[in-house]
């Protein structure tokens, strides 16, 4: 994939999107259904499209609107179409809506008949699969509440631990698709309990990635980073995100949470990450510029990262916070090595004006995020950490002298 293609905030053309279609299966061949059923269900690319159209800069973007409508029409997503029209303030196309509802009703009648047949004539496994078939179809058309009901019915007929976890993972994907934090938290808690019962390697890896993605949505970047870094070589969750997107999340969270030496060991020297960075110049500059203290390049790449985070439905609520924290990290990385730094020097290193540096750093000092002070007369930033170390050293000397005097007095008492 070329770097130019990566600049698109949503690029779904690189991977064919296949949806669950019961019409291509035989009701007597459940194993075939399991093979033809799409793992990307619900497809988060569709939710990402809807999210982009809520942003001011993309609200009237005909390309994204047409893509979203094409997905809706091709898969008869009547419930989701109704939701989209309400949230995006679109005028509903009654002819299209009625046609999709009719198609949905026909499919659901077939699926209900399959469930009744399985309950009356087959075993628990076939009943479970019948409920899952209906849940998968409901999920593919964007009916969250009914999907959860069918997943619950399937779960009640599921014995195998791995199948139970797959059921719970599906609910977490629904939560991410519909931005339902409570649904995600509830099912992650259930997932934790199931994992403790002795899940296999595959499901444990999936659990870490799902947990990491949820951590992104609640701004717990440390948990997300730990989960992602430990899953780089064992990534398996293509149903929820692409590998390239997973690496991007790994880099962004690690840049904020890892120390400089850990960043080198876990990110810069990782061959898997290196392959992805080769095709993503913005991320590559972002990582290398901070590590190699090229702050002007870092500020330029951070501006591009901000735009991309704003266009990501998981990261959008946190892009301002992230950019602010990364500026603090860069300022501190430069300042911590000096007793004092002139504002002119610092402005030159970051490629901005002295006034900008003074205003930006002063806000972080006032918020007690940077332990420095500004010498306005001298035009310098003074490192208070060195003064603090000096104070600590002097306190140690004073306390040491006091302790020695007390020991000396105590020794004389003991001699008597």
**pLDDT tens digit sequence for 47-92:** 999 999 999 999 989 999 999 999 999 999 999 999 999 999 999 9
pLDDT on residue 389: 54
Report d(CA 389, CA 376) in Å as an integer. Answer: 23
Sheet arrangement for strand 340-342? 340-342, 380-383, 372-375
CATH of 200-335, one of 1.25.40.570, 3.40.50.300, 3.40.50.720, 1.10.10.10: 1.25.40.570
Helices 124-140 and 144-156 sit at what angle, rounded to 10 degrees? 170
For the entire predicted model, the pTM comes to: 0.82
Report d(CA 323, CA 298) in Å as an integer. Answer: 11
Specify the CATH architecture of the domain 339-415: Orthogonal Bundle (1.10)
Q: What is the β-pairing status of strands 340-342 and 380-383?
A: antiparallel
Q: What is the DSSP letter of 234?
A: G
Residue 390's pLDDT band (boundaries 50, 70, 90)? low
Residue 388's pLDDT band (boundaries 50, 70, 90)? low
Report d(CA 10, CA 123) in Å as an integer. Answer: 44
Report percent pLDDT > 90 for the chain.
75
pLDDT on residue 415: 60
Phi, psi angles (nearest 5°) of residue 107: -65, -45
Do 339-415 and 200-335 have the same topology in CATH?
Answer: no
**pLDDT tens digit sequence for 203-228:** 999 999 999 999 999 999 999 999 99
Domain ranges (residues) in the chain: 7-187, 200-335, 339-415
Looking at the DSSP bridge assignments, the partners of residue 374 are: 381
Phi, psi angles (nearest 5°) of residue 378: -85, -10
Residue 194 has a CB neighbour count (10 Å cut-off) of 17
Q: Inform me whether the pLDDT recorded for 16 exceeds 60.
A: no
**pLDDT tens digit sequence for 225-272:** 999 999 999 998 999 999 999 999 999 999 999 999 999 999 999 999
């Amino acid at each position: 994939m070329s770097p130019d293609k990566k600049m698109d905030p949503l690029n779904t053309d690189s991977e064919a999107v296949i949806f669950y279609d019961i019409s291509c299966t035989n009701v007597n061949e459940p194993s075939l259904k399991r093979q033809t059923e799409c793992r990307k269900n619900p497809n988060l690319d569709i939710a990402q499209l809807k999210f982009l159209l809520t942003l001011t800069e993309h609200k009237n973007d005909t390309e994204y609107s047409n893509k979203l409508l094409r997905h809706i029409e091709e898969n008869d997503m009547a419930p989701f179409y109704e939701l989209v029209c309400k949230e995006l303030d679109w005028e509903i196309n009654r002819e299209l809506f009625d046609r999709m509802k009719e198609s949905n009703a026909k499919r659901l009648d077939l699926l209900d008949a399959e469930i009744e047949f399985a309950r009356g004539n087959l075993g628990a496994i076939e009943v479970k699969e019948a409920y899952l078939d209906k849940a998968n179809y409901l999920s593919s058309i964007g009916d969250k509440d009914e999907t959860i009901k069918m997943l619950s019915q399937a779960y009640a007929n599921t014995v195998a631990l791995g199948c139970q976890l797959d059921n719970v993972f599906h609910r977490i994907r629904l939560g991410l698709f519909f931005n339902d934090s409570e649904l995600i938290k509830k099912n992650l808690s259930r997932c934790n309990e199931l994992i403790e019962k002795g899940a296999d390697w595959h499901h444990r890896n999936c659990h870490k990635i799902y947990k990491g993605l949820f951590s992104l949505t609640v701004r717990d970047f440390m948990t997300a980073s730990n989960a992602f870094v430990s899953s780089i070589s064992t990534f398996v969750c293509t149903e929820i995100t692409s590998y390239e997107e997973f690496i991007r999340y790994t880099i962004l969270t690690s840049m904020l949470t890892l120390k400089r030496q850990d960043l080198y060991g876990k990110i810069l020297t990782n061959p898997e990450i290196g392959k992805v960075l080769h095709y993503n110049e913005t991320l590559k500059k972002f990582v290398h510029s901070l590590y190699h203290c090229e702050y002007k390049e870092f500020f330029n790449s951070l501006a591009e990262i901000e735009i991309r985070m704003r266009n990501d439905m998981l990261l959008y609520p946190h892009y301002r916070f992230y950019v602010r924290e990364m500026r603090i990290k860069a300022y501190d990385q430069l300042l911590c090595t000096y007793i004092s730094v002139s504002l002119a020097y610092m402005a030159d290193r970051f490629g901005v004006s002295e006034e900008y540096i003074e205003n930006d750093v002063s806000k972080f000092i006032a918020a007690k995020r940077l332990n420095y002070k500004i010498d306005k007369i001298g035009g310098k930033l003074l490192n208070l950490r060195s003064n603090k170390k000096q104070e600590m050293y002097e306190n140690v000397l004073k306390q040491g002298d006091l302790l020695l005097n007390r020991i000396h007095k105590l020794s004389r008492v003991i001699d008597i």
